[in-house]
C-alpha cells in the first residue's frame, strides 16, 4: 500500500509556515527559566506543570543520603493499597486514605487536619490545585464519578458556585447521548494552567466507546473554555485519515495518561492513545490521526501547534501514557529546548519543543501486514534512529524465564512461542494463532514512570518488560456467561469461592460489589470472557497485583464462582501471605465503614457535590460496545482478544530504570527497578527487578535520584552512575509518584507505601514495621 501524498505530513510536524519563526524563538529562549527556577514544593501530581519530578532542594546530597530516617508516618487505615500521589500546598498535604476519604495532613508532622469521607469514584492517581493571584481563593479540583468538582483546599468543603451545584458533567458535549456513556474521567488528574484545568479521559476500550476529546474548563466557573476533537470532524486537520464520519462512532484517541505543560510558552503536550477497538481496525481504515500521537496544543486556546504520530493505524495498544519530559540539550553546537516522549514501544521520541521537528531522524520502515479479514494495516511505522531503545523489543526462546516458571511451564511456552507469529515490534494480531507483542499492552513506559533534570538533558524512564500474547477471535467477551454454557460444577464453584475470599474480597468486597476505586464484579462474566478474566488475574491491572501463583484449577474455579449465584463470602477475608508464598495469612475486615481507626482530624463532609447526580451507566471496561449508528459502512464482523499480558514469561530484569543523556543520544546507565522479586530470588535470581514495577522517580539538583520499589524498599541512586547510594525500609510496596518538598526549612520525601496492590504477593514485612502508610523521610 502506498502512503497517500495527502497523508504524509500527518506524521510529521505541522504548520511548516511557522517553523522558521518557531526555531528562532527556540534559540532565543534557550536555557528557559522553567528549567532553572527554584523548585521547593510539590503542588501537583508531577511536582510542577512540566512533570519533571525534579527538585532544587539541597539538604539531601550524595554524601548524606544515608542519614535519611522516617520523620513521620501516616497509616492509611485502608483495606487495600492505593496508587494516589500526594500533593503539598504550604504546610498542608493531601492524600487518600480511610476507605477513599480525602485527607488533609500537616506536611511537617503527618497529623490530620481534616477528613472528607467516602470520596468513592474519585480519580485514583491524584488531584489538582489552583489558587487566585491574591491566594484568597484556593481550590482542589477533582474528577469523581465522571464529574469535575471543586473543593475549598483549606476547609474541604464543596464550592457550590462551580458548575451546576458544584459539579460539571464530563459526559456532556462529546457528541454522544450522555446516558449511553460509561466512565469518561481519567484516573490521572489532568493539569492546571493559569485559570484552566486541562483534562483527558479514559472511556474504556470497547468498540464505539466515547471519543477522547481534550477539554479545558475554567477553574472558577466550571465553564468549558475549549475542546479539541481527537477524532477530527469535517473540515478539521486529519479528517481525511479516517473513513467518512468516523467521529460519529469511533472512540478512544484519548489522553488517559499524563499531561505536561510548558507554562512559560503556554504549550500543552498530550500523549494520545489508540482508537477503539485497539486490536482490530476494519471500521477505521486509514492512518487515524491523532491516534497514538504526541500532540502539542496552545494551552490557552486548544489550537493545534504540532503533532507526531508514533504509530499509524494502531493495532497493538501502543498508546503513550507517560508524562512528556521537557529538558534543554546541546545539539549541533546549540542549546535546544526539547520534549521527550517515552512510549510503550520502548522508544524515546525526542522533538524540538516549539516546532515539533524530530531532533534525530525518525524513519518510516516497512512492517509486517495483517491478514485478518477486513483489516487494512499501515505499510510502514516510525522508527527513531536515536537515542537507543530503553526496553527489549524482541522475544526469543532464550528469553523464557529461568525462574518462577516450572519446567513444564517453560516447555509449554517454548512450544507456544515456536508456533507463534513473532516478527518484531509491529507484528499485527492474527486470527486463531498466538501473536507475540513486545513490549506489549502494558510493557515499556507507562503512567508515572518518567522524570528528568530540566537543565541538562537527562531523562529517566522506568520500563516494564512484559510481553503480550494476542489471538483474535470472533467470540465476543460476553460469551463466557451462562447462556448455552454447561452449568458449573458445584464443587468447582465452592473452590472458586475460597479463592475469591483469599485473593479478591479484600478489594472487591465480600459481596462482590466493589467500592471506591475497585469495580463491582457482579455480572463480570457477562462483560469479560473467561480468558480475559484469567489474563487480568494473572497479568494484573493498574492498582491490582498479578496473581501468578494461581493454578489453572484455581483460575477456572474463580471464573466459575464469579459467574455463579453462589452466596457471598464471609465478612472476614483471608489474604494469603501478606506475602503470599509462605502460607502465612492475615485477617482483615471486609470493606466498609471508615477503615481501621477513628479520625483525628475534623470530619468536614462526606461524598461529592450535590450537582453530581449518579448516572445509570458507569462501566468503563469490557470490549463489546454498542451497535453502529445508521448509515455507517460497518465491518461484517468484530474481532476480539484479551490483553494477553504475561508478567513473568521473560527472564529478568522484569523492570528497569534507564537514564538518558540526550546531549549525546546515549544511555548513561540502566539498572533493575522495583527491587528483587522474591519468587526469583528464592531460586537463585539476583538483580531481577520487580514485575510490573510502576512507581515514580524523583530527581534532584544534588544528583540523587529516588525510586520506591514494590519490594517495600526505597532506593537512592547516583544520578551520574546509577549506583545505589542508600536503601530504606518501607512498610509495604509502592505504586505511584512520591512527593518532595520543604516545610519550615526541612526537606522531606514522602512515599505512598500502602502496598500498591502488592501485599498479597510480596515477602512478609517486618512484624515490627508500621502499618501500610504514607511515609515521610528527612535527614536526622
Provide the grid cell at 95: 492524600
Please count the CA atoms within 13 angstroms of the CA of 556 that sit on its side-chain side.
8
Average pLDDT over residues 359-365: 98
Contact between 42 and 86 under an 8 Å Cβ cutoff? The reply is: yes
Lowest mean pLDDT among 48-62, 69-83, 457-471: 69-83
- Comparing 172 with 616, the larger pLDDT belongs to 172
**Which among 588, 556, 551 is positioned nearest to 573, based on CA atoms?**
588
Domains of the chain: 8-472+643-779 (2.140.10.10), 477-570 (1.10.760.10)
Q: Is the dihedral of CA 702, 703, 704, 707 positive or negative?
A: positive
Average pLDDT over residues 74-87: 84
Give the pLDDT band of residue 617 (cuts 50, 70, 90).
Answer: low
Average pLDDT over residues 725-747: 94
Contact between 564 and 571 under an 8 Å Cβ cutoff? The reply is: no
C-alpha to C-alpha distance for 297 and 357, rounded to whole angstroms: 15
Average pLDDT over residues 376-387: 98
Average pLDDT over residues 639-651: 87
In this prediction, residue 407 carries a pLDDT of 93
Average pLDDT over residues 163-170: 97
C-alpha to C-alpha distance for 741 and 735, rounded to whole angstroms: 19
Given a cut of 50, whether residue 764 has pLDDT beyond it is: no
- Tell me the pLDDT tens digit for each residue of 387-409: 999 999 999 999 999 998 999 99
Give the containing element (helix H, strand E) for 296. strand 293-298
Give the length of the chain: 780
Torsion of CA 324, 329, 335, 338, to 10 degrees: -10
What percent of the chain stands above pLDDT 90?
65
Pairing of strands 191-193, 713-718: unpaired
In this prediction, residue 80 carries a pLDDT of 61
Lowest mean pLDDT among 18-22, 102-106, 284-288: 18-22
Contact between 202 and 620 under an 8 Å Cβ cutoff? The reply is: yes
In this prediction, residue 588 carries a pLDDT of 30
Contact between 105 and 115 under an 8 Å Cβ cutoff? The reply is: no
Average pLDDT over residues 678-707: 93
Lowest mean pLDDT among 123-132, 153-162, 510-519: 510-519
Mean pLDDT score of the chain: 85
Given a cut of 50, whether residue 365 has pLDDT beyond it is: yes
Give the pLDDT band of residue 38 (cuts 50, 70, 90).
Answer: confident
- Tell me the pLDDT tens digit for each residue of 328-342: 999 999 999 999 999
* Count of CB atoms situated within 10 Å of the CB of 369: 14
Q: What SS3 string covers 130-180? A: EECCCCCCEEEEEEECCEEEEEECCCCCECCCCCECCEEECCCCCCCCHHH
* Count of CB atoms situated within 10 Å of the CB of 603: 15
**Which among 52, 172, 44 is positioned nearest to 700, based on CA atoms?**
52
For the chain, percent helix, then strand, then coil, each to nearest 5? 15, 30, 60
Lowest mean pLDDT among 494-498, 560-564, 625-629: 494-498
- Tell me the pLDDT tens digit for each residue of 479-508: 333 223 344 566 668 778 878 877 787 778
Please count the CA atoms within 13 angstroms of the CA of 29 that sit on its side-chain side.
19
Give the pLDDT band of residue 73 (cuts 50, 70, 90).
Answer: very high
Average pLDDT over residues 667-687: 92
* Count of CB atoms situated within 10 Å of the CB of 473: 15
Amino acid at each position: 500500500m502506498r502512503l497517500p501524498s495527502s497523508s504524509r505530513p500527518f506524521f510529521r510536524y505541522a504548520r511548516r509556515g511557522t517553523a522558521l519563526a518557531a526555531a528562532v524563538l527556540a534559540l532565543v529562549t534557550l536555557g528557559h527559566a522553567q528549567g532553572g527556577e527554584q523548585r521547593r514544593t510539590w503542588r501537583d501530581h508531577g511536582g510542577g506543570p512540566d512533570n519533571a519530578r525534579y527538585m532544587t532542594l539541597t539538604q539531601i546530597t550524595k554524601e548524606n543520603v544515608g542519614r535519611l530516617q522516617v520523620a513521620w508516618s501516616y497509616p492509611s487505615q485502608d483495606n487495600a493499597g492505593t496508587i494516589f500521589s500526594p500533593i503539598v500546598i504550604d504546610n498542608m498535604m493531601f492524600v487518600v486514605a480511610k476507605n477513599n476519604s480525602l485527607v488533609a495532613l500537616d506536611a511537617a508532622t503527618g497529623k490530620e487536619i481534616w477528613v472528607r469521607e467516602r470520596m468513592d469514584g474519585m480519580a485514583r492517581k491524584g488531584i489538582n490545585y489552583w489558587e487566585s493571584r491574591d491566594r484568597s481563593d484556593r481550590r482542589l479540583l477533582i474528577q469523581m464519578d465522571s464529574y469535575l468538582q471543586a473543593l475549598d483546599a483549606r476547609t474541604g468543603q464543596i464550592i457550590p458556585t462551580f458548575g451546576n451545584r458544584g459539579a460539571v458533567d464530563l459526559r456532556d458535549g462529546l457528541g454522544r447521548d450522555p446516558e449511553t456513556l460509561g466512565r469518561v474521567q481519567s484516573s490521572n488528574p489532568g493539569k492546571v494552567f493559569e485559570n484552566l484545568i486541562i483534562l483527558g479521559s479514559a472511556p474504556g476500550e470497547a468498540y464505539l466507546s466515547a471519543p477522547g476529546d481534550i477539554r479545558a474548563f475554567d477553574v472558577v466557573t466550571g465553564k468549558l473554555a475549549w475542546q479539541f476533537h481527537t477524532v477530527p470532524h469535517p473540515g478539521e486537520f486529519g479528517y481525511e485519515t479516517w473513513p467518512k464520519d468516523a467521529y460519529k462512532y469511533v472512540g478512544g484517541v484519548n489522553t488517559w495518561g499524563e499531561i505536561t505543560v510548558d507554562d512559560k510558552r503556554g504549550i500543552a503536550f498530550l500523549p494520545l492513545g489508540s482508537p477503539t477497538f485497539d486490536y482490530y481496525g476494519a471500521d477505521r481504515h486509514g492512518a487515524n490521526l491523532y491516534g497514538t500521537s504526541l500532540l502539542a496544543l496552545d494551552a490557552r486556546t486548544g489550537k493545534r501547534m504540532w503533532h507526531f504520530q508514533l504509530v499509524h493505524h494502531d493495532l497493538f495498544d501502543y498508546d503513550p501514557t507517560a508524562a512528556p519530559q521537557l529538558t534543554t540539550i546541546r545539539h549541533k553546537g546549540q542549546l535546544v529546548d526539547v520534549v521527550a516522549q517515552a512510549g510503550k514501544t520502548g522508544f524515546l521520541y525526542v522533538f524540538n519543543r516549539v516546532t515539533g521537528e524530530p531532533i534525530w531522524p525518525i524513519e518510516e520502515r516497512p512492517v509486517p501486514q495483517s491478514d485478518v479479514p477486513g483489516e487494512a494495516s499501515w505499510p510502514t511505522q516510525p522508527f527513531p534512529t536515536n537515542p537507543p531503545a530503553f526496553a527489549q523489543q524482541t522475544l526469543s526462546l532464550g528469553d523464557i524465564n529461568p525462574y518462577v516458571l516450572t519446567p513444564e511451564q517453560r516447555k509449554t511456552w517454548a512450544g507456544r512461542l515456536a508456533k507463534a507469529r513473532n516478527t518484531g515490534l509491529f507484528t499485527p494480531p492474527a486470527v486463531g494463532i498466538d501473536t507475540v507483542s513486545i513490549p506489549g499492552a502494558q510493557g515499556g513506559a507507562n503512567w508515572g514512570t518518567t522524570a528528568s533534570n530540566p537543565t541538562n538533558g537527562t531523562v529517566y524512564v522506568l520500563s516494564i518488560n512484559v510481553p503480550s500474547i494476542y489471538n483474535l477471535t470472533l467470540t465476543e467477551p460476553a460469551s463466557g456467561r451462562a447462556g448455552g454454557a454447561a452449568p458449573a460444577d458445584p464443587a468447582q464453584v465452592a473452590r472458586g469461592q475460597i479463592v475469591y475470599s483469599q485473593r479478591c474480597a479484600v478489594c472487591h468486597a465480600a459481596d462482590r460489589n466493589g467500592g471506591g476505586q475497585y469495580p463491582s464484579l457482579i455480572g463480570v462474566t457477562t462483560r469479560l470472557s473467561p480468558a480475559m478474566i484469567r489474563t487480568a488475574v494473572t497479568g494484573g491491572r493498574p492498582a491490582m497485583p498479578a496473581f501468578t501463583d494461581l493454578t489453572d484449577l484455581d483460575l477456572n474455579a474463580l471464573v466459575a464462582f464469579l459467574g455463579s449465584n453462589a452466596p457471598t463470602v464471609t465478612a472476614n477475608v483471608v489474604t494469603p501471605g501478606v506475602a503470599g508464598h509462605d502460607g502465612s495469612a492475615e485477617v482483615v475486615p471486609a470493606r466498609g465503614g471508615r477503615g481501621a481507626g477513628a479520625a483525628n482530624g475534623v470530619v468536614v463532609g462526606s461524598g461529592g457535590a450535590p450537582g453530581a447526580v449518579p448516572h445509570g451507566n458507569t462501566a468503563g471496561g469490557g470490549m463489546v460496545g454498542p451497535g453502529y449508528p445508521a448509515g455507517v459502512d460497518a465491518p461484517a464482523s468484530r474481532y476480539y482478544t484479551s490483553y494477553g499480558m504475561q508478567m513473568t514469561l521473560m527472564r529478568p530484569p522484569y523492570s528497569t530504570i534507564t537514564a538518558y543523556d540526550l546531549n549525546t543520544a546515549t544511555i548513561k546507565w540502566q539498572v533493575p527497578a522495583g527491587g528483587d522479586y522474591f519468587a526469583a530470588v528464592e531460586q537463585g535470581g539476583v538483580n531481577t527487578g520487580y514485575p510490573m514495577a510502576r512507581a515514580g522517580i524523583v530527581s534532584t539538583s544534588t544528583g540523587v535520584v529516588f525510586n520506591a520499589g514494590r519490594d517495600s524498599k526505597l532506593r537512592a541512586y547516583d544520578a551520574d552512575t546509577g549506583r545505589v547510594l542508600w536503601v530504606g525500609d518501607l512498610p509495604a510496596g509502592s505504586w505511584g509518584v512520591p512527593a518532595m518538598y520543604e516545610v519550615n526549612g526541612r526537606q522531606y520525601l514522602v512515599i505512598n507505601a500502602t502496598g500498591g496492590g502488592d501485599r498479597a504477593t510480596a515477602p512478609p514485612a517486618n512484624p515490627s514495621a508500621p502499618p501500610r502508610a504514607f511515609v515521610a523521610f528527612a535527614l536526622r
